[in-house]
Structure 1
């Protein structure tokens, strides 16, 4: 596996090795010991999957607050996404900054989004399937978000992003300036 640090160094893109032949490929996509040594010493407790029928579907920006804060290991099983992480750690010198990468089924790359970061994505192809492991169970009371189009964050979404695809929940997410301090910066 190969790591590619992004501009927010805590967020990491992972490229699992693929061994190909005329039949296709084999890829080890996750090893707990490798992940703990090279990325983060965490345990994953739940795995989620979503299907987005249309290209341009926006999901996010989501996070869970402590004590159910989640780190996420995201990958695309079919199609492609523009995957985004936003630093929400109060006191961080990068508070409100974002990074993004394209995750594709073809490439098999993954994105590690640690606790203290909001996560969201825009599908780039129809029938896109996204799967992600999380480090805490889903808790409705701790499920939060921030506006996908907040100008204070300034995510440069792809032109295909379709605001009419937002869920009812995502249509009313607060702006960054209106979020309480949910995560401390421990840098």
Structure 2
């Protein structure tokens, strides 16, 4: 990639992160291009679809999120790791308004640009749940799909202005439903 193209790419992602934080996943591609000081054609050369832009924007953050899960898994009891993972997921969801809806649609669609990232979150969640179940601290009657659905619902809820102030309480409710015994 040429130096100017690389600079434009980075600038577009930097601006996109800000615009999406302000306006959510429905942020205008034209607004992102304008604020990044590039033409719409330049933006579309780098990111032909909104989903492609989200994939580029989210990939690094989702990788970091799944790495946090690995760290949680290796340094905590399974129930603590799962509870902490759910909290990390909610913080991630809150930082990208509207992304949860996109992820919920993409996680079963291999043609989606977000599929691989969503699959990693899903499998990480399932593994943490399975570890807690093996320890006897998580409900045995649920699977990774159930947990992903609950996390998606929780992410959607805290993305709504009317529920955002209750995020910690909602996380507590979900974790106390999933985990047996001690919940903090």
What TM-score do you get using the length of structure 2 for normalisation? 0.24
Greater RCO, CA 8 A, separation 6+? 1
Greater per-residue strand proportion: 1
What TM-score do you get using the length of structure 1 for normalisation? 0.24
Greater per-residue helix proportion: 2
